[in-house]
Amino acid sequence: MLRALDVLQGMTQMKVTGISRLATIAVAATLAGCASQQIDSDSTVTPKAALVTQVHMPIGPGANWTYCTDTECPEPTPKTEFRRVAFKQDPKPVATVEPVQLQPMQIIESDVLFPFNSAIMKASGLGKLRTFAREIPQYSLVTVVGHTDRLGDDSYNLDLSKKRAESVRQALATLSQDFKFSVEGVGESQPVTKPGECPDTLSTTALRNCLQPDRRVTLQVR
C-alpha cells in the first residue's frame, strides 16, 4: 500500500514538473516574440541616426532581454541568443539662420533731389525722401549710394556723388533716428546709359538730358 502511494506521488510530481516546464517555455516564447517585435520596429532606423548595439536573451526561466555594447556582451552559450537592434538617438537641433530680407532697391533721380551740379537738397527732394522713410521698417540698415553722369572731371564727380549720398543720409536721419546707414559715392563708374547712347556730338542741353538716368541715388534697405 505504501509503495503504491509512493508511485502515485512520483507520477504527480513528474506531471507538475512537466507542466512547469511547459509554462516556462511558453513564457520564454512570449518574451522572445515581444522582443522580436521591438527589434522589427527599431530596425528601420538608419545607421547614421542610430547607435547599433546587441541584445542578449538567456533562454529559460526568467528569460528577458538585456542590452549591451559589442565589446561588453557576454560570451555566447547554447542558451543565449544575440540579435542586432538600432536605438534611436535624439537628433541634435540644427540652428537655422533666417535669410536677410532685401527690399527692392529704390532709385531716385538726382534731378528730383538736387539742382544740377549741386548737393543741396531740394524741398521736393525732401518730400520724396519723407515718403520713402515711412515705408522703411524700424531699425533697418539703409545703404545710400550716389551716382553721377560722365560730364565733368572724374574726381569731381566722385566727390559730388559722395556729398549727395551724405545729404540723403542726413535727410533720412532727421526723419527717423531708428535707421542705420551705409553711405558711398561711386561717381560716374556705374552708368545706366549704354556706350554710344548719348554721343558727345549732342548739344549741351540734349547731352545733359540724355545722361539724366546716370545721375541718381540708390537706396537699399535690409
pLDDT band at 139 (very low <50, low <70, confident <90, very high): confident
The secondary structure of residue 189, as a DSSP letter, is: S
Q: Taking residues 162-181, what's their average pLDDT?
A: 93
Percent of the chain residues past pLDDT 70, beyond the cut: 54
Chain-wide mean pLDDT for the chain? 75
Buried b (16+ CB within 10 A) or exposed e, 54-83: bbbbbbeeebebeeeeeeebeeeeeeeeee
More confident residue, 30 or 185: 185
Q: Taking residues 48-59, what's their average pLDDT?
A: 49
For the 106-221 domain, the top CATH level (class) is alpha beta
Q: Which among 166, 163, 182, 168 is positioned nearest to 132, based on CA atoms?
A: 168
Please state, as a whole number, how many other Cβ atoms lie within 10 Å of the Cβ of residue 180: 11
pLDDT recorded at residue 43? 44
Distance CA 139, CA 113 (A): 24
Distance CA 144, CA 176 (A): 15
pLDDT recorded at residue 153? 96
Distance CA 160, CA 114 (A): 11
Express each pLDDT in 93-137 by its tens digit.
555 555 545 567 899 999 999 999 999 999 999 999 999 998 888
Identify the sign of the CA torsion 12, 13, 18, 23.
positive
- pLDDT at residue 191 greater than cutoff 90: yes
pLDDT band at 48 (very low <50, low <70, confident <90, very high): very low
CATH 3.30.1330.60 in the chain: give the residue spans: 106-221
Q: Taking residues 27-44, what's their average pLDDT?
A: 46
pTM for the full predicted model: 0.55
pLDDT recorded at residue 60? 56
